[in-house]
Amino acid sequence: MLTPALTPALTPALALTLALALAPALFSCSPAPPTAKTASGTAVPLTGEAAYAKRLCDLNDPTGCHNLGVYFAQGTEGVPVDHVTAVQYFLRACQGGFIPACGNAAMLYMDGKGGLARDPKAALPLLEKTCDAGVLLGCYNEAFLLHQGEGGVHTDKPKAALLYARACDGGVMAGCGNLGLMYSHGDGGLARDPVKANELYQRACEGNVLSSCVNLGLQLTEGNGVAADPPKGFALVKKGCDGGLILACGNLATLYSRGLGVARDLKKAVTIAMESCPKGDNVSCTVLALSYMHASGGLPRDRAKAIALYDQACKAGNPGACSSLGVFYELGRAGLSVDIEKARALYEQSCTETKLAGCGNLGFLYTEGKGGLAKDMKKGLSLVTSACDGGELHACTVEAVLISSSTPDKARSLFERTCGAGDDRGCEGLGAFQEQGLGGFKADPGKAAPLYQRACDGGLGFGCARLGVLYFKGSGVAVDKEKAQSLVKQACDEEAEGCTMAKKIVGAS
């Protein structure tokens, strides 16, 4: 998969408000100011409201312990920021039955700041307690931990889905958004349902959950479970990037790279990706990798750097990057030796129940019987078709290639869909159908030429090669042998297959 993939965003845990609790007035005199001993053993003199909260806490009033925790968490009322000490007071208040303190202790464990080590496992039972007490934000954060399964927390996606639904029904819009993401992936035992996913994204977006606006935008750009509206989708993704959501910026770069919902602008894509990749956005890193691979967007050709970026993004969990890396090993491109076994492993890594990016390429290996796989046309096509039905654009292009001879009309429809959604390989296939008069088209090399040009601009050697042949022959375009030779050279710079084909045909002419 060489076309940059759009990647939906998961809304992270939401902070509970470190709000002060109302406490009764119990002291009519002014005793000596108390001190609070921090976790490190330092005695901190307390004055004003902090002193008052300490006296309440010493009387086992949980609101006082909670408020003292707030002061240490925020560094207010003259006490230093010390989250270790804050958690101790929150836990004391929680044990005293003050539920907001349980949630605040959990959030400090999840944040891992202010001297406190991050400990999601310690946060989980505290969030369960807040959720059981009816605090829906606690239900959402519990769901998030179970969904992610990190820091010693065992993944439980079916329970996460139930908790997201409970939070969503109670008005926590981020719960709607993450539940939508699970429906989109068919995760947590839920049947894949892009229509339901989009309904939830819409609801969350209307509730100002920026990541859900982005996810809805991604669906709109490709028409997954909703009528395609690329300009509207682009606007939603841009809103996310402008709002500071880094993953949205990677997707925005991808839309510029593919010309989806906006005029294609490879330099703009690179500019955005250059800023976002160093911030940890692996989607942007794949945009840069593709640009280095094909010397596009103003970047020089640097295949070693491209491979390093793909590898970095793959290791960071981007399935599209793993699939793209697999292509280079399968075909022996970018200075890599052919290693179909390694390609297969990368495709399998990116083809699971919830990850579809590698399924098209893995299915193709099955149809060819490569990579140590027994040839199995039925299994291969099933993998490809299921991924396409699940919204994986590249898989739809692979399906079109596989059925081009047996069902050309359906293949044409798939090529039109994928090309229209910005997949250069789909445009290359559609150009071949136009040139050769397949799938109900009347042969028209002139209409094929701009499609080949788009594929060539996207770094596909076959697109350059086919376009070069058209210029060499004057088929559908004016004869231009100099341009033909330039295109053939470009094809050879990109991939051996396109180079061989172009040289053979041009030479024979």
> If residue 468 lies in a helix (H) or strand (E), which one and from where to where?
helix 461-473
Give yes or no for a contact between 95 and 63, defined as CB atoms under 8 angstroms apart.
no
DSSP 460: -
What are the phi and psi torsion angles at 35 (to 5°)? Answer: -125, 160
Note the pLDDT of residue 20: 56
For residue 130, being part of any structural domain is answered with: no
What string of pLDDT tens digits covers the 509 residues of the chain?
334 344 455 555 555 455 555 544 444 445 567 888 887 888 889 988 899 999 999 999 999 999 999 999 989 999 999 999 999 999 999 999 999 999 999 999 998 888 899 999 999 999 999 999 999 999 999 999 999 888 899 999 999 999 999 999 999 999 999 999 999 988 899 998 999 999 999 999 999 999 999 999 999 998 888 898 999 999 999 999 999 999 899 999 999 998 999 999 999 999 999 999 999 999 999 999 999 988 899 999 999 999 999 999 999 989 999 999 998 888 887 778 889 999 999 999 999 877 888 999 999 999 999 888 899 999 999 999 999 988 888 999 999 999 999 999 999 999 999 999 888 999 999 999 999 999 999 999 999 999 999 999 888 888 999 999 999 999 999 999 999 989 988 888 776 666 776 676 665 44
For residue 485, being part of any structural domain is answered with: yes
Note the pLDDT of residue 6: 46
Note the pLDDT of residue 294: 86
CATH code, 482:
1.25.40.10
Q: What is the DSSP string of 380-446?
A: HHHHHHHHHHTT-HHHHHHHHHHTTTT-HHHHHHHHHHHHHTT-HHHHHHHHHHHHHT-TTPPP-HH
Alpha helices, H only, 170-260: 173-185, 194-206, 210-222, 230-242, 246-258
Note the pLDDT of residue 224: 86
Residue 17: CA count within 13 A, CB half-sphere: 4
For residue 455, being part of any structural domain is answered with: yes
For residue 351, being part of any structural domain is answered with: no
Note the pLDDT of residue 37: 81
Number of domains the chain contains: 1
How far is the C-alpha of 255 from the C-alpha of 228, rounded, in Å? 14
For residue 449, being part of any structural domain is answered with: yes
Note the pLDDT of residue 25: 45
How far is the C-alpha of 212 from the C-alpha of 279, rounded, in Å? 21
Name the 3-class secondary structure at 125.
helix
For residue 202, being part of any structural domain is answered with: no
Q: Give the C-alpha distances (Å, rounded to integers) separating 485 from 161, 408, 474.
A: 57, 31, 13
How far is the C-alpha of 387 from the C-alpha of 410, rounded, in Å? 16
How far is the C-alpha of 345 from the C-alpha of 282, rounded, in Å? 20
For residue 193, being part of any structural domain is answered with: no
Nearest CA to 106 out of 14, 232, 36 is that of 14
Note the pLDDT of residue 114: 84
Note the pLDDT of residue 422: 85
Report if pTM > 0.85: no
Q: Match 């429906």 to its residue by tokens.
A: 183
End-to-end CA distance of the chain: 33
| E-assigned strand segments in 93-249 | none
Note the pLDDT of residue 338: 86
Count of CB atoms within 10 A of residue 343's CB? 26
For residue 220, being part of any structural domain is answered with: no
Nearest CA to 65 out of 90, 99, 47 is that of 90
Note the pLDDT of residue 38: 82
Q: How far is CA 254 from the centre of its chain?
A: 11
Give yes or no for a contact between 236 and 205, defined as CB atoms under 8 angstroms apart.
yes
- Residues in the chain, how many? 509
The boundaries of the domain holding residue 474 are 422-509
